[in-house]
Amino acid sequence: MARMHIMAGASDKLDMPEIRTISLADLGVALRRGAEDFWAKPSHYLLLALIYPVIGVVLTVWMEGFHTWPLLYPLIGGFALLGPVAALPLYEVSRRREAGEDPTWSEAMRGLRSPAIGSIGAVGAMLFVLFTLWLTSAQALYEGLFGSATPRTLPGLIDQVLTQPGGMALLIAGTLIGAAFALVALCTSVIAFPLLLDRDVGAYVAVETSLRAVLRNPVPLLAWGAIVGAGIALGALTLFVGLAIILPILGHATWHLYRRLVADASTIRHLG
């Protein structure tokens, strides 16, 4: 029964939320409201915000020590895949502020005790598997072009990509492979976590609803994916410090994007 709850939710029928049609203008609204949430409650999740640049620095040091610089690009992309899981308290802050509350840090963390935490964990595990496959593919691509020996420094990697045969192939193929993984993640989880925090619908419905949202709104949601990717790249260029602002704003904005995409619970369709 617990396994069924994780996949199908608390109801005895599949609750299929209705998807609205949105425009590019809705992305701007979501980002603006996400920024408002960030500036209204920065102290409540400062610790969470600082985790991101710390992880970035740790990854950089790890790559320097173990000479795995070719994985730098996909590791940075991992923020886009795994960040939504860490953003659960941010969704809770936005949800409570939308309801007119003034949430505290402890209240923001209550999302981690949601009845849907099993479903949230299942979708998070799916993204972790996707991230692992991304890293494995990136490593296989690099070794197929250059062999198992890797540059000992980041400048060495840059020189290898720009001057040696196979460098442009690595850059182009790696970008296309990363884009494919990012697209799968977008289609399966763009609003999955806010939906599960808001309604205990189960992992299957959360993933299926995200897919329907992308199919109904391909241009706005592909643009959203590009915004997230550009934001992460910008944050990485600031030695990951910029992620402490960019990722929380994107986390809050994801909640508001969910609210614009998914109709109220009263319009749910029941299947089964």
Q: Given a cut of 80, is residue 206 above it in pLDDT?
A: yes
Selection from 60-64, 165-169, 214-218 with the highest mean pLDDT: 214-218
Tokens 């990854």 correspond to: 59
Please state which of the ranges 6-15, 39-48, 59-68, 199-208 shows the lowest mean pLDDT: 6-15
φ/ψ of 14, rounded to 5, equals -75, 120
pTM: 0.86
Q: Given a cut of 90, is residue 250 above it in pLDDT?
A: yes
Contact in structure between 94 and 252 (CB atoms under 8 Å)? yes
Angle at 28 between CA 117 and CA 218, to 5 degrees: 70
Give the pLDDT confidence score for residue 268 in this predicted structure.
52
Region class of 175: left (phi > 0), else alpha (psi between -120 and 50), else beta = alpha
Q: Given a cut of 70, is residue 20 above it in pLDDT?
A: yes
Give the pLDDT confidence score for residue 1 in this predicted structure.
42
Report the chain's terminal Cα–Cα distance, integer Å.
17
pLDDT top residue among 5 and 22: 22
* Mean pLDDT of all residues in 215-234: 95
Q: Given a cut of 70, is residue 7 above it in pLDDT?
A: no
Angle at 197 between CA 188 and CA 33, to 5 degrees: 85
pLDDT tens digits along 76-117: 777 778 888 888 889 999 999 999 998 887 788 877 777 888
Q: Given a cut of 50, is residue 230 above it in pLDDT?
A: yes
pLDDT top residue among 132 and 63: 132
The candidate with the shortest Cα–Cα distance to 141, out of 184, 180, 188, 186, is: 180
- Separation CA 25–CA 156 (nearest Å): 43
Give the pLDDT confidence score for residue 218 in this predicted structure.
98
Domains in the chain: boundaries? 22-265
Q: Given a cut of 90, is residue 156 above it in pLDDT?
A: no
Q: Given a cut of 50, is residue 64 above it in pLDDT?
A: yes
Sorting pLDDT into bands at 50, 70 and 90, what band is 228?
Answer: very high
